[in-house]
Structure 1
């Protein structure tokens, strides 16, 4: 079962806000009236400890008052500005490693309402080479990360492990054979729309050939670990409404619970 953290955050923020407002509008005036009645009955101002006791907020109200501004700030930051994600798989190697913690720019492709993901303010459109986070079209409770290789109107062809965009092959330059003696994998530099990034290609991996025309409002995405990535070649296009944001930087790497976080590879994502 996948928990929708955005939905949980919205609900908890709303609950604490409602409780704080309820106390402010209903119960706080009653406490002040109780204090006033007690002082009128005593015919003098009550000592400070008694005044504080009568005006003291109940625990649920005090907790809501303290938590609501914090939760609201987190909700705004996470929903409209930046959100951290952890890379769970090797589909974007060598660009992103399993255990990388990345920062995703949520407003780069426009402001969206949390939970429903409806865009309320347009900004940029995804471009060739952008690394994007999006909701997996076959299960929108799961976030995927891939590289945009096709934008609306493009014809994308993948043949003999070479990417063609509108009939133009995207140049691949060999950087290394891994391992050198009996290579199983090739490390290559691929120039996508003139911007280089690194990819892996398996020497003996299956060849997946095909051609796709990208419809309006959709994007074609590939993993940089080309023979170990379930991407648009398998399940189709990414609709615009499923975009989450643009991956901009790696800010930490953490292998797991039994290792220490590593901040030595902080970098921009290209």
Structure 2
């Protein structure tokens, strides 16, 4: 009985440690769709550092981040728990509201979409990572509010991003991609 209790205790510690790491440190994420082509591909796996979410860091321009696209609702700690891969084993639903995108604008930035380019604070962005020339144009300027970011996919003509869903609250930025791999394809 003593040995069984030892196994149960060890297993419990391992589960708690895995939950802690998955919620606060890093987590695997699978790319779904082609919105980040050619940088990331459909079904590619990435490791996401969750430290920016844990400590509320503002991501840098060009960072590839995982976001919760449900910007019209408040996120809670329960969301972080349920999005953990360990809980995913017991859930029947998938997290189709989690998107992976590139940071284009930070708080206070003025964005414009003209001449098939993105302009940030009056300067056209050099974007060698995009798939093709962007078809999107918009009248006027978009000013990124405080505590928000603006994200876009690298496949600009096939991406649901801040142009559609709006500015992303910082607490909806779940982490930053730090490593990509394809072994499971």
TMscore range, shorter length: 0.7 to 0.9
Task: Structure 1 unaligned segments of length 5 or more: list them.
Answer: 1-55, 112-120, 172-189, 191-196, 256-270
| 1:158 aligns with one of 108, 113, 116 | 113
Q: Distance in 2 between matches of 1:236 and 1:208?
A: 16
Question: Is 1:221–2:176 an aligned residue pair?
Answer: no
**Corresponding residue number in structure 2 for 1:29:** none
Q: RMSD across aligned C-alpha pairs, in angstroms?
A: 2.3
Shift of 1:251: 2.5
- The answer for the alignment partner of 2:28 in structure 1 is 84
The answer as to 2:162 corresponding to 1:207 is no
Q: Is the 8 A contact 1:150 1:214 kept in 2?
A: yes
SS at match of 1:91: coil
For residue 237 of structure 1, what is the aligned residue in structure 2? 167
What is the TM-score when the length of structure 2 is the normalising length?
0.78
Describe the superposition over 1:108-140 as per-residue Cα deviations: whole angstroms up to 9, x where unpaired: x152xxxxxxxxx44x32111111111112587
Q: Which stretches of structure 1, 4 residues or longer, exceed 6 Å deviation after superposition?
A: none
The CA deviation string for residues 148-191 of structure 1, in whole angstroms up to 9 with x for no partner, is 100000011112320100111113xxxxxxxxxxxxxxxxxx1x
Give the TM-score of the pair, scaled to structure 1: 0.55
Structure 2: runs of 5+ lacking an equivalent: 76-94
Equivalence for 2:92: none
Q: Which has the higher contact order (CA 8 A, sep 6+)?
A: 2
- CA distance 1:84–1:162, change in 2 (3 Å): same
**Which position in structure 2 is the counterpart of 1:12?**
none
Name the larger-Rg structure: 1
